[in-house]
Amino acid sequence: MKSIVLTAGQGTRLEPLTDCHPKAMITICGQPLLARLLTSFSRIGCHETAVVINPRHRSMVNRFDRLVSPALPSITWFEQTEGLGVGNGVLAARTYIDTGEYFMLSYGDIMFSDNLLQSLLNSFNSIRKPVAAVCLTRDSSDFGVIYMDQEMRITEIIEKPQQRKLGNYVLAGAFILPGGFISVLADCGGNIIDAFTKFLHSSELYASIWEGEWIDIAYPWSVLAANQMLMREWHQTIQSTSIVIESGVNISGPVVIEDHVTIKSGASIIGPCFIGQNSFIGHHALLRDCTCIGAGSTIGFGVEVKNSVIMAGSEIGRLSFIGDSVIGEHVEVGSATIMVNVRMDQATVSVDICGEPIDSGLKKLGSFIGDHAWIGANHTFLPGTKIPAHHVIPHFGTYPPRQ
């Protein structure tokens, strides 16, 4: 069975993490989101995949192709040059699918525990009819809510309802559909909800309920949730034989340490944690649970990092605290920088998303720093702070008088 993966979305709600690259290339625990999704396809025997990208992200193709792995399927790239939205993304790859065959469709910004796609395929194989993965979520306002009958047949889809409802089943972003659905989609002008509604009246679409963990990578803090979900599945420590660990280092809990990592004396690592290849962990650094250090990063003397994702090539200066934060690629964080993760009134933290304050629902949330930003020494960032990519913040301190 062939598949289509949609990755052409702008990802504006994820800014500044998507200032320089699409959200499909956000890397957690050493792998981009897209690579994790495509690996799931390969594991269920889906070895041919069309990936739809935004023309602005053509560099993503070369970057991703360098990740060639036997675990990944054969990829055919398509560009979504006309129209926005999910439906037009599917139409961009319409020549890839034969009318008479079923295909798997997946959004490129979802993550799940175990393999949701295997569950979806099992449901399809049991009834040989179109199926959609659905899951239960506490807040359905950002998703397509579904209603179904006693036979699990979907009877109605409501896109992003205005009111926030608790305990609704929503579309989980993965489907197995007949090739003929693409013609229905074209007749509806690329509107995916209209196409599903028309399809429900002329055919059948069944729900495949997923009871495992599922995350839609929609907001910056979703990256933290996805990282936690991955690490909760770890039960053992995996250390490369090429790492250098000095005496006096304390490691507890499940920790993954890749090749050529150096950990200096006095450092403490409390798992689950991930340290990417060629990284350096300085003297007396403290890496607490659910910390992810990207490849080639440097963590300075006495730095504390807690429940944070630090992406490849970034450097955290000595005596800094990074709490519940996401740091982009090749970011310089100056010494004694504090990323505060708790409001003094103990309220949940709101973050500016596209000009509107959005409540994260989290009482502990730090900062989000875009790629290639440079933060000078001695700064304190309050909860929910965002710094754009390439932004420079000078050192905070006293400058010498002019002569």
pLDDT at 167 over 50: no
Burial of 234 (0-12, 13-18, 19+ CB in 10 A): middle
By the 8 A CB rule, do 132 and 119 touch?
Answer: no
Return the ∠ at Cα 299 (arms to 252 and 62), rounded to 5°. 105
Residue 161 reports pLDDT greater than 80: no
Dihedral sign from CA coordinates of 146, 232, 311, 325: positive
Name the one residue in this structure whose structure tokens are 């990063």.
Answer: 297
Segment 27-51, tens digit of pLDDT: 999 999 999 999 999 999 988 999 9
Percentage of the chain modeled with pLDDT above 90: 74
- The proportion of the chain whose per-residue pLDDT surpasses 70, expressed as a percent, equals 96
- The pLDDT, as a whole number, for residue 141 is 62
- Is residue 162 scored above 70 in pLDDT? no
Phi, then psi, of 106 in degrees rounded to 5 = -140, 140
Average pLDDT for 190-205: 88
Mean pLDDT over 271-285 rounds to 98
Is residue 168 within 8 Å of 160, Cβ to Cβ?
no
C-alpha closest to that of 309 among 291, 329, 282, 285: 291
Q: What is the mean pLDDT of the chain?
A: 92
Least confident of 34-43, 192-201, 318-327: 192-201
In this predicted structure, the answer to whether residue 142 has a pLDDT above a threshold of 70 is: no
**Confidence band of 68 (pLDDT split at 50, 70, 90):** low
- CA angle (313 as vertex; 312, 317 as ends), nearest 5: 120
How large is the average pLDDT for residues 306-321?
98
Pairing of strands 244-245, 144-148: unpaired
Q: What is the mean pLDDT of residues 318-324?
A: 98
Q: pLDDT tens, 90-139?
A: 999 999 998 889 999 999 999 998 789 999 999 999 999 999 999 987 76
Residue 132 in contact with residue 174, Cβ under 8 Å?
yes
CB-side neighbour CA atoms (13 Å) of 336 = 6
Query: pLDDT at position 140, please?
Result: 54
| All domains of the chain in start order, with CATH | 2-218 (3.90.550.10), 232-393 (2.160.10.10)
Residue 320 pLDDT class (50, 70, 90 cuts)? very high
Each residue of 144-153: pLDDT tens digit?
Answer: 788 888 888 9
pLDDT for res 149 = 86
Q: Rounded to whole angstroms, how far apart are CA atoms 305 and 323?
A: 6
Averaged pLDDT, 336-364? 97
Q: Does pTM surpass 0.75?
A: yes
Give me the pLDDT at residue 91, please: 95
- Proportion of the chain in helix, strand, coil states, percent, rounded to 5: 20, 30, 50
